[in-house]
Chains A and B, each alone.
Chain A
Amino acid sequence: MAIDWIHFTPWTSLAGGLLIGLAAAVFVLFNGRIAGISGILGGLLRPAPGDSAWRLAFLAGLAAAPLVYALFAPLPAMRIDAGDGTLVAAGLLVGIGTRYGAGCTSGHGVCGLSRLSPRSLAATLSFMLAGFITVFVLRHVLA
Chain B
Amino acid sequence: MQIVMACIAGLVFGIGLIVAGMTNPAKVQAFLDLAGDWDPSLAFVMGGAILVGLPAFRLAGKRERSLLGDAMHLPAATRIDRRLVLGSLGFGAGWGLAGFCPGPALASLAAGGVKAWIFSAAMLAGMIVFELLERGTAASMRRSA
Give A contacts to B, CB under 8 Å. 1-4, 7-10, 12-35, 37-38, 41-42, 45-46, 53-55, 57-70, 75-82, 84, 86-106, 108-119, 122-124, 126-136, 138-140
Contacts and interface: CB of A to CB of B under 8 A. Distances in A.
A16 B17 contact: yes
7 contacts: A9-B41, A25-B57, A61-B8, A79-B25, A82-B25, A87-B118, A91-B94
A12 B126 CA distance: 32
Contacts of A86: 97-98
B26 A4 contact: no
Contacts of B38: 1-4
B96 A87 contact: no
Interface residues of B, number: 116
B102 A90 contact: no
Per DSSP, chain A at the interface is: helix
B84 A70 contact: no
Contact of A29 (B10, B59, B92): B59
A126 B85 contact: yes
B18 A75 contact: yes
Given A3-B40, A16-B48, A20-B20, A66 B110 contact: yes
Contacts of A101: 83-88, 90-91
A77 B112 CA distance: 9
Interface string B87-125: 111111111111111110111111110011011111111
Contacts of B128: 45, 95
A93 B97 CA distance: 10
B21 A16 contact: yes
A53 B46 CA distance: 28
Contacts of B57: 25, 28, 111, 114-115
B50 interface: yes
A21 B49 contact: yes
Given A78-B26, A114-B57, A35 B9 contact: yes
Contacts of A136: 33-35
A106 B89 contact: no
